[in-house]
Structure 1
Amino acid sequence: MNILLITVDQLRWDAISCSGNHEIETPHIDRLSSQGARFTYAFTNAPACMPARSSLLTGRFPHAHGVRGGGVRLSEQEVTFPQILSQRGYHTAHIGKLHVQNHTYRDHTSPHPSYGYRTLQVTDERGTYRDPYTQWVERHYPEYAKAVRIEPGASRVRNGTDHMSSEGSFPAKASHSRWVSDTSIEFLREHGGTPFMLWASFFDPHSPFIVPSDWANKYDPNSLSLPRNCEITPENEYAIRSKKAAYYALVSHVDDCIGRLLHYLDESGLAEHTTVMLSSDHGEFLGDWGRWGKGRSEDESIRIPMVIRTPDMKGKPRVIEDVVQLFDLAPTICDLTNSMKPQSMQARSLLPLLKGELDEERTPFALVEINMEVSRINTTEVFEKTYRSKEYRLTLWSSQQEGVLYDLNKDPLQLNNVWGEPDYKDIQAELIWQLLQRLMETENTLPARTHPF
């Protein structure tokens, strides 16, 4: 069994048409969903790139692998699923955004830690560094080499331009997304004859929303709905709509690139022996709650799309409503390839659910973690833990005596915080206990105990 893992950075769970969004066009993701299984209650392990991707690689919670937020590198001592598959003889490859090392202030021409990959082409941002993507543009489309360049993320945050939207001065053929799909297809042409595990990792639609020129008019801003719980004024309405249109255009462009990749699987015959997995690392507020980006515990930030198609599932689509998490893909990949799962993995394989079986040992809620510095001046860190089931969301902070609790059956938009209300006293206590128990169950047990004393 070959594995093709596709991740789309900062893709909201409901920003694909097969999830019920009639404003956006994602025909290739929809086709993948129609041939496989779509998970409707999938959540990230952390609403930020570095901890989420570290959890995906290791099958471990952020509090276990130690990447508790942005700016903390994943230890090279961690056991990753590419390492495990490499030992089984797989050609493991990663093309695109990895981001388990800090990408700011790093020499991107120096070798990247392998984390078990045999082929590794890392471009953690789009057009920012001297990396495989910018060198590809220089070789194939030198006329756009300057046009694809943008300032580093740290500078964009400082300058307040990180969530800008604009039409790029380059076409889709020179985009980062096209580089990911074309380079992935090149890998499959060269190595598809041997067992492979390829992670094709798209940066778009991550901010800033710079749309290739031939996709810039894909969506009419005036035809799109406005964000929820956001202060809309005559002065900001069109700008908000335009940013949403740019985000949607990037999603559709990535979908088109995914279509190219899936088409190659079909025409080459590789689809008959390849499991395709699609997910994102976290969501995007897209103006809801007056916010852009991610990093918080609302569903816009923590809920993600997830689709899996195995060769024997074609034509038998399924919708799975069990609560699952991003890092569950790691042990699933191990099971699909008959690889040994290390004891350190805390995630559960999705294989029983894919077979239509009950998984009674699966925890019926997600544990989502993030921590942040109070400010760039005050580096004290605030830890945030979220319990998210189908029925409730509970979020606690290390800096506060009170949390938030939402009854999702009565309040699906999470507008009415019932924390501390008498009618929810017992429920609140039970959820806190379940969250604490989950944290204790998943305490880090590395390094392994080698002797009683």
Structure 2
Amino acid sequence: MTGPDPNRNETGRAATATRPSFIVFMTDQQRADHLGCYGNPVVRTPHIDAIAERGVRFENVFTATPICQPNRASLITGQMPSVNGCRQNGIPVSLDSTTVADVLRAAGYRTGLVGKAHFQNVSPVPASPRALRGRGNDPVPPYETARRDQRTGPEYGAETRMAWARDPGRQIPLPYYGFEHVRLCIGHGDQVEGHYSGWLQERLNGAPDPRGRAQALPDDTSEAPQIWRTALPEDLYPTAYIAEEACAFLQETDERPFFLVVSFPDPHHPFTPPGRYFDLYDPDAIALPASFAHPTGAREDLPDSLLQGYARGDADRDAYWPFHADADTTRRMIALNYGAITMIDDRIGQVLAALDAVGRADDTVLCVMSDHGDYMGDHGTMLKHGLHTRGVINVPFLWADPQGAQGRVSRLHGSAIDFAPTVL
């Protein structure tokens, strides 16, 4: 690393440069060390690694909170969950929020999001009724929190997954949190709905839906948690759809600078990479994490809330709670995680080729990041929730600016709340 240039910011762009366009590649539940450019010797990610070589690789970027919805809220608002009010999954981003896309759109940018948003709830679970817990004798205040907005109602139903399964042609109000072009993917693995639902139906052309464990192809992992060999072919998988829609966005004739978020739901569980990606990596060649056999502290010393989460996960390992896995199962999950990542990398290459083809590569900043990580075998556990270990909170963050630094590694500490102001 060289010393800082006073005429350039941390990402390397000259302070007097013209306004660039942006493509933000986001993955879901991916550890920083599950990329070749971060030192992983097994997973193959040549296109992402090339972005790192063309820009800055940040080693110490962390989540605002290691779970999907609230960290995504922090990314688009530049605010901590305690400020924007999205403290956990199930609390939507307020429609009154000003997002980075709002600001860019107001400044003349064309804004697009293809793939996973998760700004609103994906399950139709109503908000709990408010209940005062005070015991004082003073008159009851009209509201018991600083926020009066309960964030419920039809205007917060844009991302309800099963609503899209029932009606693939449904519409959402635009702009959506500042994005004027939106193509949603809601869910994970081959269990995705949204705008993708209608696209898939058209291509199936009346054929039975091949998705899910019940329709899976025969495989010796059929009883393993979070794993099945999907019958969905590669070209119909959500990752392929997202790349296709991103390319279509780039190919539209529009001279405005653009801000495009390309958000893949993988490699988040369930682990169902399609076709050749399912067998791309040999589980027997996967090394277990160094802490695999090390207990997560003394079990009896863990807080009850954490123990309850593991109890739920161990009882139903196809749910969303963390669970313990043996060595063979962990190796297979990591191998499938790698397969999903390599598929994403291949499709990122497809989008970059489209960017070159339309002649916009010379002034487009490329960013690669994830919303949070995964235990992936750390302390013998899978998924997330509970303990904020580095594998869950440390995320990849690459920034490649054609007018900026190349091949640089930064040890600057950053957070999800730094993303929006960095772009702006």
User: TM-score, with normalisation over the residues of structure 1?
Assistant: 0.67
Q: Does 1:3 align with 2:17?
A: no
Distance in 2 between residues matched to 1:206 and 1:56, nearest whole Å: 18
Distance in 1 between residues matched to 2:120 and 2:253, nearest whole Å: 27
- Which of 76, 88, 103 pairs up with 1:57? 76
Distance in 1 between residues matched to 2:194 and 2:213, nearest whole Å: 13
- The amino acid across from 2:361 in the alignment is A
Residue 91 of structure 1: how far off its partner (Å):
1.3
Q: Could you tell me which residue of structure 1 aligns to residue 314 of structure 2?
A: none
Q: Could you tell me which residue of structure 2 aligns to residue 164 of structure 1?
A: 226
Matched residue of 1:21: which SS? coil
Residue 241 of structure 1: how far off its partner (Å):
1.2
Matched residue of 1:169: which SS? coil
Deviates more, 1:28-37 or 1:211-220: 211-220
Deviations 1:133-169 (A, max 9, x none): 1211222344776123579xxxxxxxxx995122211
Q: Could you tell me which residue of structure 2 aligns to residue 94 of structure 1?
A: 113
Matched residue of 1:125: which SS? strand
Residue 12 of structure 1: how far off its partner (Å):
0.3
Q: Could you tell me which residue of structure 1 aligns to residue 394 of structure 2?
A: 303
Residue 32 of structure 1: how far off its partner (Å):
0.4
Deviations 1:292-345 (A, max 9, x none): 11223100100000000112137x2111111011221111111xxxxxxxxxxx
Deviations 1:110-136 (A, max 9, x none): 526711111111222145465211211
Q: Could you tell me which residue of structure 2 aligns to residue 236 of structure 1?
A: 326
Q: CA RMSD in A?
A: 2.2
Residue 246 of structure 1: how far off its partner (Å):
0.6
- The amino acid across from 1:199 in the alignment is V
Residue 288 of structure 1: how far off its partner (Å):
1.0
- The amino acid across from 2:273 in the alignment is V
Q: Does 1:25 align with 2:44?
A: yes
- The amino acid across from 1:301 in the alignment is V
Deviations 1:329-383 (A, max 9, x none): 111111xxxxxxxxxxxxxxxxxxxxxxxxxxxxxxxxxxxxxxxxxxxxxxxxx
Matched residue of 1:183: which SS? helix
Q: Label 1:100 to 1:24 Cα distance change in 2 as closer, same or farther (>3 A).
A: same
Matched residue of 2:291: which SS? coil
Distance in 1 between residues matched to 2:259 and 2:197, nearest whole Å: 25
Q: Could you tell me which residue of structure 2 aligns to residue 273 of structure 1?
A: 363
Q: Could you tell me which residue of structure 2 aligns to residue 136 of structure 1?
A: 199
Distance in 2 between residues matched to 1:324 and 1:124, nearest whole Å: 28
Q: Could you tell me which residue of structure 2 aligns to residue 146 of structure 1?
A: 209
Q: Equivalences for 1:258-269 in 2 at 5 Å?
A: 258-269=348-359
Q: Could you tell me which residue of structure 2 aligns to residue 331 of structure 1?
A: 421
Number of equivalenced pairs: 322
Matched residue of 1:120: which SS? strand
- The amino acid across from 2:45 in the alignment is T
Matched residue of 2:269: which SS? coil
Q: Equivalences for 1:357-396 in 2 at 5 Å?
A: none
- The amino acid across from 2:226 in the alignment is M
Distance in 2 between residues matched to 1:192 and 1:291, nearest whole Å: 47
Q: Could you tell me which residue of structure 2 aligns to residue 287 of structure 1?
A: 377
Q: Could you tell me which residue of structure 1 aligns to residue 61 of structure 2?
A: 42
- Which of 186, 190, 198 pairs up with 2:248? 186
Q: Could you tell me which residue of structure 1 aligns to residue 403 of structure 2?
A: 312
- Which of 196, 202, 210 pairs up with 2:272? 210
Q: Could you tell me which residue of structure 2 aligns to residue 125 of structure 1?
A: 187
- The amino acid across from 1:207 in the alignment is H
Distance in 2 between residues matched to 1:144 and 1:30, nearest whole Å: 38
Q: Label 1:226 to 1:130 Cα distance change in 2 as closer, same or farther (>3 A).
A: closer
- The amino acid across from 1:272 in the alignment is D
Residue 229 of structure 1: how far off its partner (Å):
2.8
Distance in 2 between residues matched to 1:268 and 1:189, nearest whole Å: 7
Distance in 1 between residues matched to 2:344 and 2:192, nearest whole Å: 21
Distance in 1 between residues matched to 2:280 and 2:106, nearest whole Å: 45
Matched residue of 2:73: which SS? helix
Residue 265 of structure 1: how far off its partner (Å):
1.4
Distance in 2 between residues matched to 1:225 and 1:130, nearest whole Å: 34
Q: Label 1:215 to 1:112 Cα distance change in 2 as closer, same or farther (>3 A).
A: farther
Deviates more, 1:130-139 or 1:20-29: 130-139
Matched residue of 2:247: which SS? helix
Q: Label 1:46 to 1:241 Cα distance change in 2 as closer, same or farther (>3 A).
A: same
- Which of 196, 199, 204 pairs up with 2:258? 196
The answer to whether the 8 Å contact 1:180/1:200 transfers is: yes
Matched residue of 1:98: which SS? coil
Distance in 2 between residues matched to 1:132 and 1:264, nearest whole Å: 22
Q: Label 1:163 to 1:270 Cα distance change in 2 as closer, same or farther (>3 A).
A: farther
Task: Specify which structure has the bigger relative contact order, considering alpha-carbon pairs within 8 angstroms and separated by 6 or more residues.
Answer: 2
The answer to whether the 8 Å contact 1:58/1:78 transfers is: yes
Q: Label 1:138 to 1:4 Cα distance change in 2 as closer, same or farther (>3 A).
A: same
Q: Label 1:18 to 1:317 Cα distance change in 2 as closer, same or farther (>3 A).
A: same
